[in-house]
Amino acid sequence: MKKTVFVLLDACQYESATRNLGYLEHMIDAGSAAKYKVKGELPSLSRPMYATLMTGLPASSHGILCNEIVKTLTCDSLFSLCQAQGGVTAAAAYHWMSELYNVSPFAVPRDRIRHGQGGHIDHGIFYWEDMYPDSHVFSDGEYLRKTYDADFTLIHSMSIDYMGHQHGCDSSEYELAVSNAGCLISRFVPGWLEDGCNVVVTADHGMNRFGIHGGTDAIQRNTPLYIFSDKVKNGRFTDREISQLWVAPLVARLMEIEPSKAMLDPKQIPIAFV
């Protein structure tokens, strides 16, 4: 099994990522990573897309149709697949991830920090305030990855989403939040690569100028996908837009684990593999 770090930048729209994630864009120009444009599933809301990104299923299949549906999924996810094949899972993430993949509803202090208490995330540090600093999230995730030798680590930051809702995507606050996340990523990716990890960076949805997402236009749906892996050809493939439903089977292929039967066939993923 190939260890993998999955970075989820909540509400990071494609165009803002291209403008502000300077380190990742540099790595594309240097021929050290791949970049794709992802067409997000609907509704372009957080909880439904947290489910889609990890399961590879549309909302109508996994049943999380809006943010207000609080339940633990019974379908397979990247977490459960990793566990089933002997891997260790970890997540530093918003508490909705704990509700989806461990236990619901989320309760503090029971679920703030979890280690081997059941569920599909073996080791988790979960936050519940949207303004929880991204620097803390990345540090939490790195602590879990290194301490528990995790095979699949999710690092899920919320500052971009928070600033987008407060000020809209056309604001300096939103753009700065994206830029700051890029700086944090640049501090961690070299170490992850040195440790032999795949690294995947993407988002769940975008944001519009009114501070809203959930709808159908490109600014709310299109997200970036950056991939560091020896299995994927490096370069820009922005003309090859891919469905968000491909993300989970892609990660399964990168990790060298069997995808779920419900996922799209990873052999058919429209990505340039080595």
Report the Cα 219 to chain-centroid distance in Å. Answer: 18
- Write the burial class of residue 109 (CB in 10 Å: 0-12 exposed, 13-18 middle, 19+ buried): exposed
Give domain status of residue 42, yes or no: yes
Q: How far is Cα 59 from Cα 52, in angstroms, rounded to an integer?
A: 7
Give domain status of residue 103, yes or no: yes
Burial 136-159 (b: 16+ CB within 10 A, else e): ebbbbbbebbeebebbbbbbbbbb
Number of domains forming the structure of the chain: 1
Give domain status of residue 69, yes or no: yes
Residues in the chain with pLDDT < 70?
none
Give domain status of residue 274, yes or no: no
Q: Which domain holds residue 118?
A: 4-268
Give domain status of residue 132, yes or no: yes
Q: Is the pTM of this model over 0.95?
A: yes
Residue pair 88/121 in contact (Cβ under 8 Å)? The answer is: no
Quote the pLDDT of residue 240: 79
Give domain status of residue 263, yes or no: yes
Give domain status of residue 240, yes or no: yes
CATH of the domain at 154: 3.40.720.10
- Write the burial class of residue 116 (CB in 10 Å: 0-12 exposed, 13-18 middle, 19+ buried): exposed
Give domain status of residue 82, yes or no: yes
Mean predicted lDDT score pLDDT of the chain? 97
Quote the pLDDT of residue 239: 77
